Chains A and B, each alone.
Chain A
Amino acid sequence: MVLPTNLKHIATADELTKLINEKENVMVCCGRMGPMCIPVYGVMHEIEPEYQHVEFRDMAFDSPEAHIIRNLPECRGFMGIPFVIYYKNGKVAAATSSIQSRTQITTILDKTFSA
């Protein structure tokens, strides 16, 4: 189950685990093709060339494999999609719930993944 976005997709929990173990900086947007999520995928796609030191991915929120994100302790209390997770060296460095603007996203990227 993957989303029809312009981003690279994560289909399984194993794929995500492998990616965050191999790459230093990873941002994953876990959502649906809905109004709160689409703008976030769009911003990620637009800023991807400026942040070549970050791996951008999406993951389908309704996939059973997305338990790896839905059940994170950092997502406790989240009640709005998408769940966006920023992984640094395999660990969760930041997490947001619901729609975020370009400025909100780049602020976290700059703070968490300074090149």
Chain B
Amino acid sequence: MENTHYQTIIIGGGPAGLTAGIYLSRAKVKTLILDSSIAGGQMLLTHQIANYPGVENISGYELSMHMLNQAKSFGCDVISSIEITKIDFESKLKSLELSNGKKYTSDAIILATGGRSRTLGLAGEDKLKGRGISYCATCDGDFFQDKEIAVVGGGNTALEEAVSLTKYASKVTIFHQFDHFQGSKHAEDEALNHPKIEIRLNTKLTGFFGENSLESIEYMDVNTNETFRQNFDGVFVFIGYEANTDFLKGKCIHLNKYNEIVTDGQMQTNIPGVFAAGDATAKRFRQITTAVSDGTTASLYALEYLKTIA
């Protein structure tokens, strides 16, 4: 019969989870990583990573595979493409059930569920994803050669991607709901001074329209509440990230108002034996390096916890 007890189960196989897996498995702790997709998390969504110390330039896919193989080489088990259907983390023996019907138990849990691109949540958005609405300029920019597109957002990503999309589009209009941008001065200046870019501050998208592909958008002036409709061939949405904590809502783990997991300095949640790391936790900066740091800290404190219950 399959042994379904692990000393630690890590939920999430991004940089935080994989790092925790590397540390724990290397310390001979029987460890399982569960991931709803494939290992790598948001690293997979990055074409080139140039700020990971020790590696001058690497694709997100390659770095993910290196981390995954490193964790596996120390004996870490990994189950990908699996959903968690039920959890019980309050008991000393933690348990969870998966979408394949299997049940697993563990002495400690590390929540490293990461984040995902925030969507606008407007009617038509899901239907027109990949049919004019995109979340990746590098992937889909070339579909918009000589077309008019909109970019939604006001942070560094939105500003930088708007500039990069001018390589393809005839015109880029940036819609941002506030009266100022949140990005760096450099990114803002580049966008403001670009001849192909138009800026619409204090505006909020309210609808997408199109049958087979995106045809137009509706937006609102947030000062006057007046709405307008304008034709666009494409819309790129860059409005930040949200934590993957839906399965924790209403459960025992303390989340803040943004649904991020609250931890102490030891990456411990409010439940003994349950730690959290990476982008799903409440913090300001979200980088691969900070996720790796969190994963290290969480795994080392999980190790100490395991000793106390041994």
- List the interface of chain A (C-beta within 8 A of B): 32-39, 42-43, 45-47, 76-81, 96-99, 101-103
Contact = CB atoms under 8 A, between A and B. Distances in A.
A80 B36 contact: no
B138 A34 contact: yes
B57 interface: no
Contacts of B44: 35, 38-39, 42
Given A34-B138, A96-B130, A102-B37, 7 more contacts: A34-B139, A35-B139, A36-B136, A38-B38, A43-B37, A77-B131, A81-B140
Contact of B129 (A33, A38, A80): A80
9 contacts: A35-B138, A36-B140, A46-B80, A78-B130, A79-B130, A79-B144, A80-B134, A97-B129, A101-B36
A44 to B, nearest CB: 10
B141 to A, nearest CB: 10
Contact of A39 (B38, B138, B212): B38
Given A39-B37, A46-B81, A102-B81, A79 B136 contact: no
Contacts of A46: 38, 80-81
Interface string B109-134: 00000000000000000000111111
Contact of B130 (A43, A76, A80): A80
B212 A35 contact: no
B83 A103 contact: yes
Nearest to A101: B37
Interface string B285-305: 000000000000000000000
Nearest to A34: B139
B234 interface: yes
B232 to A, nearest CB: 12
Interface residues of B, number: 30
Contacts of B60: 35
A32 to B, nearest CB: 8
Contacts of B59: 33
A80 B234 CA distance: 10
B134 A35 contact: no
B252 interface: no
Contacts of A80: 129-131, 133-134, 136, 139-140, 143
A37 B136 CA distance: 11
B36 A34 contact: no
A79 B46 contact: no
B177 interface: no
A77 B61 CA distance: 28
A79 B37 contact: no
Interface string B204-226: 00000000111000000000000
Contact of A102 (B36, B61, B138): B36
B199 interface: no
B45 interface: yes
B167 interface: no
